Amino acid sequence: MSYLIILYGFLSFFASIICHVLVWRLLNPRSHITYLALIFLIIPLASYVLLFLYGFSGGSILSLPATSEILGAALLHFALAAAYIQTYPAMQARCPTLALLIAIKRSEPTGISYDELRRSFTSDNPINERISDLTNSRMIFKTGSGYSITARGLLLLWPLMALRGLLGLPTGRG
Amino acid sequence: MPDTSIILILLTLSPVVILFVHTMVSRTLLSVKPGFSNQLACLISVAIGHIPMGLLLLYFAFNATALSNEPVAPSVIYCLIVYNSIGYSYFHLFNMSETARRVRILYEVKKAGRLEDSEIQSMYDTGDMFSGRVERLLSMSQIREEGGRYLLCGYFLYIPALIINFWGKLINLPLLKDPEKKK
């Protein structure tokens, strides 16, 4: 294994990052999940499959050796992409825990009281935003004045419930 | 040289190793030290996971024959980056099951079959959500309380918070709520 694998893995990841920044600033897409999957997973996957097939047929691009070395760069790309995609909801959802930390740090050296923090935390309605996110991403759908879960929602929920069951933990307190 | 194919196979299987270690750690802590931070337990599991992964890689990919010809540093660096990226993703996946409101709403809607908007709203007392988050930060030693006021005492989550805040501005998303400006 050479440093080139690491270099190419990072290069393809940064190419995805640049596309992501450009698309978000220029197009401001509504369905974030679809565009993230396209930019970080589907397009890179297609590119790596083409590279792999090219390498498999005996070709070599940009000094990158064929087959397992290409798979190595691809695995690095997808590991980094997964880490990024997992971080993304914290930005999209204005993660309150992170906002609390920033508020506490900014209050130094005197610190901030429970009531002051709580006031800033309750100044908008995060539940409406979450319901809207779930509806836009088709995890739940509106039935009259209520909501029901979709197959896509179940697809997200089941693995998480199974994980917590395996760990012996009750439902999260989100 | 270290066998690249074996390295890739083992790294692809690393989530299974992390899950196994996490299950052991979580179930042990539940019986030995109930109340221990679930997130901290997850982070500890990912850290401990370096040991079995390292041993597996050492045995199957970095054996004496393999090390004879080629420098091992690129392979080690590669393994560390990929394993820790996967570990980081795993932590976030677990954290989503622990704290994400979207996941809890999905769970409650599934459990009830159908929920009215007002029923979802009533599940949440934003004060309760707030105190839960403060408790978690205290139990993770990221903040401390002094004379009824909270101060930062750990940078493990604060630094990611700053990075995420900065990155949020760059990709033109609504910024993290700034509690001070809302007063």
For residues B169 and A152, the answer to whether their CB atoms sit within 8 Å is no
Among partner residues B77, B158, B182, which is closest to A123 by beta-carbon distance? B182
Provide ipTM, 2 decimals: 0.79
Q: What is the predicted pLDDT for the residue at A137? A: 81
- CB atoms A122 and B126 under 8 Å: yes
Choose the mutation target among A78, A125, A147 for the interface with B, i.e. most B CBs under 10 Å: A147
Among partner residues A6, A99, A173, which is closest to B77 by beta-carbon distance? A6
Query: Phi/psi class of residue A131: alpha, beta or left (left: φ > 0; alpha: ψ in -120 to 50)?
Result: alpha
Among partner residues A93, A101, A103, which is closest to B180 by beta-carbon distance? A103
Any CB–CB contact under 8 A between B24 and chain A? no
B177/B180 Cα distance (integer angstroms): 9
Domains of chain A, residue spans: 3-92, 125-174
Q: What is the predicted pLDDT for the residue at B182? A: 43
Q: What does pLDDT average to over chain A?
A: 85
- CB atoms B38 and A169 under 8 Å: yes
Any CB–CB contact under 8 A between B102 and chain A? yes
Q: What is the predicted pLDDT for the residue at B54? A: 94
Among partner residues B81, B94, B98, which is closest to A6 by beta-carbon distance? B81
Q: What is the predicted pLDDT for the residue at B83? A: 97
Span A146-159, mean pLDDT?
92
pLDDT band at A84 (very low <50, low <70, confident <90, very high): very high
For residues B96 and A102, the answer to whether their CB atoms sit within 8 Å is no
Does pLDDT of A143 surpass 80?
Answer: yes
Any CB–CB contact under 8 A between B153 and chain A? no
Choose the mutation target among B149, B155, B181, B182 for the interface with A, i.e. most A CBs under 10 Å: B149
A-chain CB neighbours of B8 within 8 Å are 68, 71-72, 75
| Opening angle at CA A54, ends A52 and A56, nearest 5 | 65
pLDDT band at A66 (very low <50, low <70, confident <90, very high): low
Domains of chain B, residue spans: 1-114, 125-173
Any CB–CB contact under 8 A between B40 and chain A? no
Any CB–CB contact under 8 A between B5 and chain A? yes
Any CB–CB contact under 8 A between A166 and chain B? yes
Among partner residues A111, A123, A148, which is closest to B114 by beta-carbon distance? A148
Does pLDDT of A22 surpass 90?
Answer: yes
Span A23-31, mean pLDDT?
85
pLDDT less than 70: residues of chain B? 1-2, 64-69, 125-128, 174-183
pLDDT band at A62 (very low <50, low <70, confident <90, very high): low
Does pLDDT of A145 surpass 70?
Answer: yes
Q: What is the predicted pLDDT for the residue at B175? A: 46
A5/A44 Cα distance (integer angstroms): 15
Would you tell me which residues 8-67 of chain A have a C-beta closer than 8 angstroms to some C-beta of chain B?
20-21, 24-25, 28
Q: What is the predicted pLDDT for the residue at A51? A: 82
Range in A8-12, A59-63, A88-92, B49-53 the model is least confident about? A59-63
Does pLDDT of A46 surpass 80?
Answer: yes
Kindly compute the dihedral angle of the four CA atoms of residues B162, B165, B168, B173, in this order, to the nearest 10 degrees: 170
Among partner residues A21, A83, A97, which is closest to B85 by beta-carbon distance? A83
Paired tokens of A26: 């220029």
Q: What is the predicted pLDDT for the residue at A118? A: 80
Paired tokens of A129: 């935003």
Backbone CA torsion sign across B146, A110, B129, B142 = negative
Q: What is the predicted pLDDT for the residue at A45? A: 93
Does pLDDT of A110 surpass 70?
Answer: yes
A2/B78 Cα distance (integer angstroms): 9
Residue burial B115-141, b: 16+ Cβ < 10 Å; e: rest: beeeebeeebebeebbeebbebbeebe
Does pLDDT of A77 surpass 90?
Answer: yes
Any CB–CB contact under 8 A between B97 and chain A? yes
- CB atoms A95 and B7 under 8 Å: no
Q: What is the predicted pLDDT for the residue at B179? A: 44
